[in-house]
Amino acid sequence: MRMHRKFARMALAALAALAAGLAGAQFPDHPVTMVVPFPPGGVADTVARPVAEAMSRELKQPVVIENKAGAGGAIGMAHVAKAKPDGYTVLMSLSSYTVLPEADKVMGRTPQYQLADLRPVARFTADPTVLAVRAESPWKTYAEFVAAARAAPGKLTFGSSGNYGTMHMPMAMLELQQGVKLTHVPYTGAGPAIVGLLGGQVDAIATGPATIVQHVKAGKVRVLAHWGEARLASLPDVPTLKELGVPIDYAQWSGLFVPAGTPEPVVVRLREAAKAAANDERVRQVMTTAGSPILYLDAPEFQRYVDADAAKMAEIVKKVGKLE
């Protein structure tokens, strides 16, 4: 009897492996949905659209963008985390992915998803956020902006994509390091926050270069500094904060994820399509023009990158603490 059970288990395992292999060979046989957990106009959306188009060509099936915004990106991320793990629902996320579960803990809430619920497939970009103000603002330099913040605690405002998001955390780090108080105005995404800046509802934002370079070129926005390690090709005259004696850095990365438990052959196929998209000349041209060049990492390297980022950001979230 035990021998029969052993053979039965082996047969089931063999069938499962065969089914997974067949799934990979046939994948995809209908359109793939790429969830962007923010509204149109932000970094994730800017990256997702050319990448989805290139992946569609590689997969021979449409990759359809679905913007599912809210809760600083957590709604869209949780949606994919809970989706059927078959490769047909994927996530184009930003670095807030590593922050939001820890933020929920700090706020005393049950996290909407856990990092283990999603599996990294590929990183596409990793840009430092830039500190942007309107061109007609009185602050010509970072020093002038900080001096104004010190002179009137809480008077200057900044917009973000939501609490603990990729536009909030760099400004929170700045406040902590510089000992200044700014008033945070959360929006539903980078797009609305940029509209808020341009419309005069907020004084400043920290955002990815891809979302702001066009407004700099149009003379509507001035960039005072950025959170990177070296000057940016798209904004060569803008100093890093470290150049200015402020020892903080922050990268707003974008990457592709699938639900944990997605069959390995399907993940391999998506990795191949993601790599093809990262190397696609049209994708590279669009992203370079936007000020956010492709900095591709395949799944193993991206997993290590995500793990390191999560550890770093968990400590920062604890320092920021509970938001009222």
Q: What is the pLDDT of residue 5?
A: 58
Find all residues with CB under 8 Å of 10, minimum gap 6, and list them: none
> Up-side HSE of residue 320: CA atoms within 13 Å toward CB?
28
Full set of structural domains in the chain with CATH: 2-125+254-320 (3.40.190.150), 130-226 (3.40.190.10)
Summarised one tens digit per residue, pLDDT across range 186-212 is: 998 899 999 999 999 999 999 999 899
d(CA 205, CA 131): 6
Residue 40, helix vs strand vs coil: coil
Query: Among 291, 203, 280, which Cα is nearest to 252's?
Result: 291
d(CA 62, CA 57): 8
CA distances from 171 to 42, 148, 160, 241 (A): 17, 15, 9, 12
pLDDT at residue 141 tops 70? yes
Average pLDDT of span 154-162: 96
Residue 22, helix vs strand vs coil: helix
pLDDT at residue 147 tops 90? yes
Query: Cis before residue 28, ω within 30 degrees of 0?
Result: yes
Average pLDDT of span 98-124: 97
Summarised one tens digit per residue, pLDDT across range 88-100 is: 999 999 999 999 9
Summarised one tens digit per residue, pLDDT across range 34-68 is: 999 999 988 899 999 999 999 999 999 999 999 99
Q: What is the pLDDT of residue 2?
A: 54
d(CA 324, CA 322): 7
pLDDT at residue 20 tops 80? no
Give per-residue burial for 111-133: e unless 16+ CB within 10 Å, then b: bbbebebbbbbbbbbbbbbbbbb
Judge whether 35 and 79 are in contact, CB under 8 Å: yes
Looking at every residue in the chain, the average pLDDT score rounds to: 93
> Using 50, 70 and 90 to split pLDDT, how confident is the model at 319?
very high
Average pLDDT of span 301-307: 98
pLDDT at residue 258 tops 60? yes
pLDDT at residue 257 tops 70? yes
d(CA 293, CA 287): 5
Q: What is the pLDDT of residue 1?
A: 52
Find all residues with CB under 8 Å of 253, minimum gap 6, and list them: 94, 95, 123, 125, 126, 127, 305, 309
H helices, E strands: number in the chain: 11, 11
d(CA 176, CA 164): 14
Comparing 11-20, 92-101, 239-248, 277-286, which segment has the lowest mean pLDDT?
A: 11-20
**Contacts within 8 Å (CB) and 24+ apart, 100-109:** 100/71, 100/72, 100/73, 100/74, 100/164, 100/165, 102/310, 102/313, 102/314, 102/317, 102/318, 103/72, 103/163, 103/164, 103/317, 104/74, 106/317, 106/318, 106/320, 106/321, 106/322, 107/322, 107/323, 108/322
Q: What is the pLDDT of residue 318?
A: 94
pLDDT at residue 19 tops 80? no
